[in-house]
Homo-oligomer: A and B are copies of this chain.
Amino acid sequence: MSRGPLRLGGGGGGGGGEFDRLRRIFARLGSRARDLGDDCALIRVGRTTLAVSIDSSLEGVHFRTDWLSWQEIGWRSTAAALSDLAAEGAKPIGVLVSLGVPSSGSRVGGAGRGGRGGDAAVAIMDGVASAAQSVGARVLGGDLVRSPRYLVDVCVLGIARRPVRRAGARPGQGLWVTGALGGAALGLAQLRDGRKPTAALFRRFAHPEPRISAGRWLADRGAAAMIDVSDGLAADAGHLAAASRVRLDIELERIPCWPGVPPAAAAASGEEFELLVVLPQSFGDAAARAFRRATGLALTRIGRCTRGAGLRLTQAGRPVAAPPGFDHFAPPPPPPSP
């Protein structure tokens, strides 16, 4: 629902201040708003449960036009929004997009990686539509506004046959994560330093794949609680622990890491769009292998749920401090992109 930023301007995290602020705002709305404690809102329509969420991507905060092509900007913004449906175990139906584009809407030449020019709005929407199509969804609606910076605001709709919330974890259950973590932060760091990431690393950053089929597979196999890794594994584990009123014990050395990324950095890397999932005690390595056959993704047990509250990270059995979450209200304003 809300997502950590890239911290394009650098600066320290603030422990999920943006999410907390949004939650405080919603709490003040009382019965006029639903509880903001999950990736999606769930709405019963007849015998169906709809899952809906909205996710905003803004130039200079979530992307830079000299790093990504217009299509990649559209894809990435949409994949980030679809990731909320994945975390709910939902099947996407469609997306609605508000697009903000500066003045004439196309900074022809120079803007967009490769300086390809053309109509930015068309190319961004092409990326949006491709991301939607990749998970069986369509573009249902849109709006266009003249804005000082590029903005891609994506509302996603899906159907959750068996919705998985953040709140269902119970002591004794296992904590698992899909894929490998740390690539998003590593790619971002290299781009920020003016280096050229490898093709695989750049693709990880520019073209994230929402884990829709993984989320649905896990929901069907009895996932008790789930969240997508948007603020970073440690921060998102904290959200899940708070919602479920359990303690999460995570062994750093078990975290599946992107090549060259140490576990502590992998645990802090935001916008990974992998799934952090709590599965029944009976779910074991054979089931994880079945998951890999079905989805092509690794599924790694990194810890477990116990009685208590919060997050306990250990390395070689000794407690270590949790890395901070992301918060794009905490750092200073990012410089405008060129």
- Residues in A lying within 8 Å of B, measured CB to CB: 1-3, 18, 21-22, 24-26, 28-29, 31-34, 36, 40-41, 43, 45-48, 50, 52-56, 58, 61-62, 93-94, 96-98, 100, 103-105, 119, 121-122, 125-126, 129-130, 132-133, 138-149, 151, 153, 155, 157, 159, 328-329, 333
Q: Give 14 A-B pairs besides A29-B126, A36-B142, A54-B155 with Cβ atoms closer than 8 angstroms.
A: A25-B122, A28-B126, A32-B138, A36-B141, A50-B157, A52-B96, A54-B98, A54-B141, A54-B153, A56-B100, A62-B145, A98-B98, A153-B153, A155-B155
Closest chain-B Cβ to A88's Cβ sits at a distance in Å of 12
How many subunits of this chain does the assembly comprise? 2
Give the secondary structure class of A's interface: mixed
Residue in B closest to A33 when the chains form the complex, CB atoms:
B139
Provide the bound-state CA to CA distance between A144 and B32, in Å. Answer: 18
Provide the bound-state CA to CA distance between A56 and B97, in Å. Answer: 10
Closest chain-B Cβ to A55's Cβ sits at a distance in Å of 6
Provide the bound-state CA to CA distance between A285 and B143, in Å. Answer: 37
Please tell me if the beta carbons of B43 and A140 are within 8 angstroms of each other in the complex. Answer: yes
Closest chain-B Cβ to A318's Cβ sits at a distance in Å of 37
Please tell me if the beta carbons of B50 and A97 are within 8 angstroms of each other in the complex. Answer: no
Provide the bound-state CA to CA distance between A121 and B28, in Å. Answer: 11
Residue in B closest to A42 when the chains form the complex, CB atoms:
B140
Please tell me if the beta carbons of B29 and A143 are within 8 angstroms of each other in the complex. Answer: no
Closest chain-B Cβ to A151's Cβ sits at a distance in Å of 7
